[in-house]
Structure 1
Amino acid sequence: MRHRVKGRKLGRNASHRKAMFRNMACSLIKSVVADEDAENAPKHPGRIVTTVQKAKSLRPFVEKCITLARRAQPHLEKAEEFGTSAERGSSEWKSWRESDQWQEWAAAMAPALSFRRRLISELRDIEAVEVLMSELGPRYIDREGGYTRVVKLATVRLGDSGEQALIEFVGDDRDRQRTTSRSSAAPVVDESEETETTSDEEANESVSSEAEASDETSTDATAEDGGADEEKKDD
């Protein structure tokens, strides 16, 4: 019994399992900026397909990395105020390097550099860290958690019939299109259609009033006939 034993072993030891999650996370992150014309370009950027158990175990690992990149964004924005656009090694850059402005830039950049080093130690991939710091961090700057979703697929994996699922980032173009299609706007009513509708309603009201008048007339006539028959019987 595995009471109070957290996590899934997935048929691997600890080091193998960590390396697998690192490789899967880098593949998912780098698919965001993948070249569409490349030979092995992903069909949908920001999405990979794996088994359900691996996707559920990979999700917290990826979201912790995105949280580190998101926490580094305020420090990067603050450091930009003291930065310079001069080319490295130029005379202007050297003068900025020796000024007090560089000291302020270094102090503001230190926390962001710490987050960057933590991401490199987790992923061991510079390209994936660059995508986190430049793309995913600014995207989720106002979102506190829940950066990915796991969607189960109906098709099973060939060979062992394993349950498949896809893990993808939320808040992309597909979500915006889905939100736009769900929002129902008020229908535009043409003035001619509104006039026709009003005339139809008036005609229906006149017909109903005529029908009620005819019903009242027939009721009165029936009552008079009944009264005449009763007088005859009395005679």
Structure 2
Amino acid sequence: MKGYRKLGRNSAHRKSMLRNLVTDLFREGRITTTEMRAKEAGRIAEKMITKAKKGDLHARRQVLEYIFDEDVVTKLFEEIAPGYEDRNGGYTRILKLGPRQGDNAEVVYLELV
């Protein structure tokens, strides 16, 4: 089994796209995207929340390597992560919306629980 999905992109484009999805998820709380993108972005978001729960400077710097928007990182550490203090994983949820009109791709909500 592969460690990740390639999503039909080269590595730089894929990394940039997933960064943007995760940043928007933390900024908005819920995003609409395709199922495969949501699964990959959800994996990364779970890891970011787990790091943010530690709350120390090293964890903040590690998250800032991935999420460039400092306002979003501040929100993650001060608002989002403390809400999951008693939860061991499972911070995101995928809700299916149905196929997209143009290409029949499965569209979902990716949201924070």
Q: 1:61 aligns with which of 41, 44, 48?
A: 44
Matched residues in 2 for 1:24 and 1:128: separation?
12
Question: Which of 2, 17, 21 is the equivalent residue of 1:20?
Answer: 17
Tell me if 1:141 matches 2:90: no
Task: Give unpaired runs (5+ residues) of structure 2.
Answer: none
Aligned length: 113
TM normalised by structure 2 equals 0.94
Greater helix fraction, Structure 1 or Structure 2: 1
> How many percent of aligned residue pairs carry the same amino acid?
43
Secondary structure, aligned partner of 2:108: strand
Higher strand share: 2
Q: Deviation digits for residues 76-112 of structure 1, max 9, x if unmatched?
A: xxxxxxxxxxxxxxxxxxxxxxxxxxxxxxxxxxxx1
Partner SS, residue 151 of structure 1: strand
Aligned-pair distance for 1:136?
Answer: 0.8
Q: Which amino acid aligns with 1:152?
A: K
Q: Structure 1 residue aligned with 2:58, among 114, 117, 120?
A: 114
Structure with bigger RCO (C-alpha 8 Å, 6+ apart): 2
Q: How does 1:83-162 map to 2 (within 5 A)?
A: 112-154=56-98, 156-162=99-105
Q: Distance in 2 between matches of 1:119 and 1:8?
A: 21
Tell me the secondary structure at the aligned position of residue 96 of structure 2: strand
Cα deviation per residue 1:155-189 (whole Å; 9 max; x = unaligned)? x223212111111111xxxxxxxxxxxxxxxxxxx
2:26 alignment partner AA = I
> Aligned with 1:10: secondary structure?
coil
RMSD: 1.0
Q: Which one has the largest radius of gyration? A: 1
SS in 2 for 1:137: helix
Distance 2:27 2:54 in 1: 20
TM-score, length-scaled by structure 1: 0.47
Residue of structure 2 in register with 1:10 after alignment: 7
- What 5-or-longer segments of structure 1 have no aligned partner? 32-45, 73-111, 171-235
